[in-house]
Amino acid sequence: MPAPRLLIADDQPDVLEALKLLLKGEGFDVETAASPRAVLAAVEARDFDALLVDMNYARDTTSGAEGLDLLSRVQALEGAPPVVVMTAWASIDGAVEAMRRGARDYVEKPWDNRRLLATLRTQVELGRALRKSQRLEIENRTLRREGLPELIAESPAMQPVLRLMERVGPSDANVLILGEHGTGKEVVARWLHASSPRAERPMIAVNLGGIPDGLFESELFGHVRGAFTDAKTDRVGRFELAEGGTLFLDEIANLPVPQQAKLLRVLETGEYERVGASRARRADVRVVAATNADIQAEVKSGRFREDLLFRLNTVEIRLPPLRERRADVPLLAAYFLRRYASRYRKAAKEFAPDAMELLLRHSWPGNVRELDHAVERAVLMTEGGRVQARDLGLGGGGDGAGALDQMSLEEVERVLIQKALTRAAGNVSEAAKALGLSRSALYRRLKRHGL
């Protein structure tokens, strides 16, 4: 380990020389300064393990004001080293004020060599330990950020979203993510989790639209053996699985009102019970919820509890549809192209001009998920290194883009469901997977649309 580097400051040359001889003899690397200005210049130019500074510099001055001002200015610098102050006019008031301004210790002239050396060594060790801890924290934050889900968003419409995510991610606040199908709500949820202090703990995702009413409590809170007929063993619920981490509640607006009350109780009290158990458990989880529904309309209609909404949307993030962030389409398409070309070992490396024109012209009612599927299909269909427009399967007119632009969201959803069923040859499970829905959620939509 290198010798501790000290900066000594005093206006008296003989004091500087005596301290320099003492400290060099004890293995310290010593530099000297004769004024506050010289101290600041040295600290800004080089790193020191500790500073030993006098409180008075002007002749016939004993107030210590110069030393106190110097302390404040040193503490304002980034990465300020520990400071030990010394003065021939020691007083309790001066010591208290020096410590308040950031001094780590206080020694009196004439100094006791043994105490001075012990004080400096202690401060050097503490300073090095603190800097090491700070470096490790910075490295950990950097590593956590490197592990964040890739979020491709450079369009103007996404900049406010990114700024909000940056502010909210490191917090414990509950977040409600709003946006149409396929806008990337789960990607945002995973980004928030990965950027938080809970990143080392699990993120558990629950599709609330796919849980039958009778199994809701068992799924979320768990059950004990014998709690009901089929409970042959104990079961750990999603809240318990997410302990210390994040619980992602997708399709929150599809939760029936009776189940909303049970979820609200956990969010209000922080406690839950396994089905059939009598002992309450504490829930240390951060809740991130998402929905594509107009949640305010759901509240007004009585289908969603307003008090539950207040618990969920401490912060609300609204994701714009892809048609409002067209500048991201080429970036997203290129990302998907690289991913699927690698996965399927295809030579596709770029989009032909007609293919890129089609990508930019298409209305993307299915948002990023539809773009993802279109590029995957194109990679599978292309026969060379360039993806052609015909490979995308969108049609020359953008797969009905003009007509879809004039439709309501309900009509667009109906069209997407019909297309998904057609592509899946009537297989409801495959269609549900393509749409990012559970089977039960798709059945509810089929009933609503009369399909």
CATH code of the domain covering residue 382: 1.10.8.60
Considering the domain architecture, whether residues 164 and 32 belong to the same structural domain is answered as: no
Is the pLDDT confidence value at 404 over 70?
no
Verify that 251 and 348 share a domain, yes or no: no
**β-strand partners of 351:** 387
Q: Identity (one letter) of the amino acid at 53?
A: V
Query: Minimal CA–CA distance to 202: which of 156, 249, 232, 246?
Result: 246
Q: Is the peptide bond before 110 cis (omega within 30 degrees of 0)?
A: yes
Which has more pLDDT, 31 or 101? 31
Q: How many helices (H) and strands (E) does the chain have?
A: 19, 16
Contact 328, 158 (CB under 8 A): yes
Where residue 72 falls among pLDDT bands split at 50, 70, 90?
A: confident
**pTM (2 decimals)?**
0.58
Asked whether residue 136 carries a pLDDT value surpassing 70, the answer given is no
Strands 50-54 and 5-9, by their bridges, are parallel
For strands 386-387 and 5-9, give the pairing. Answer: unpaired
Residue range 113-134, pLDDT digits in tens: 999 999 999 988 888 877 776 6
- Residue 131 is assigned to a structural domain of this protein: yes
Higher pLDDT, 233 or 51: 51
Query: What SS3 state is found at 107?
Result: strand
Amino acid at 353: P
Cα distance between residue 54 and residue 64, in whole Å:
9
Domain assignment present for residue 204? The answer is yes
Q: Residues, the chain, total?
A: 451
pLDDT on residue 102:
84
Closest CA to 141 of 186, 189, 190, 199: 199
Band of pLDDT at residue 32, cut at 50, 70 and 90: very high
- Rounded CA separation 449/451 (Å): 6
For residue 102, give the CATH number of its domain: 3.40.50.2300
Say what the pLDDT of residue 215 is: 85
Residue 223: φ, ψ to 5°: -150, 165
- Give domain status of residue 76, yes or no: yes
Number of domains in the chain: 3
The DSSP string of 371-389 is HHHHHHHHHHH--SSEE-G
The whole-number average pLDDT for the span 289-297 is 95
Domain interval for residue 414? 324-449
Q: Judge whether 360 lies within some domain.
A: yes
Distance (Å, rounded) from C-alpha 87 to C-alpha 71? 14
Query: Are 313 and 355 contained in the same domain?
Result: no
Q: Please tell me whether residues 241 and 338 are part of one structural domain.
A: no
Same domain, 72 and 100: yes
The residue among 272, 287, 318 that closes a domain is: 318
- Give residue 415's pLDDT band: very low, low, confident or very high (50, 70, 90): low
Sign of CA dihedral 125, 131, 133, 136: negative
Which of residues 117, 141, 165 is at a domain's end? 141
Two structure tokens written together for 108 = 């009196």
Residue that terminates a domain, selected from 287, 318, 349: 318
Q: Specify if 148 maps to a domain.
A: no
Shared-domain flag, residues 121 and 267: no
Q: Is residue 147 part of a domain?
A: no
pLDDT, tens digit (0-9, with 9 covering 90-100), for 255-282: 999 999 999 999 999 898 888 887 888 8
If asked whether residues 419 and 357 sit together in one domain, one would say: yes
Inform me whether the pLDDT recorded for 141 exceeds 80. Answer: no
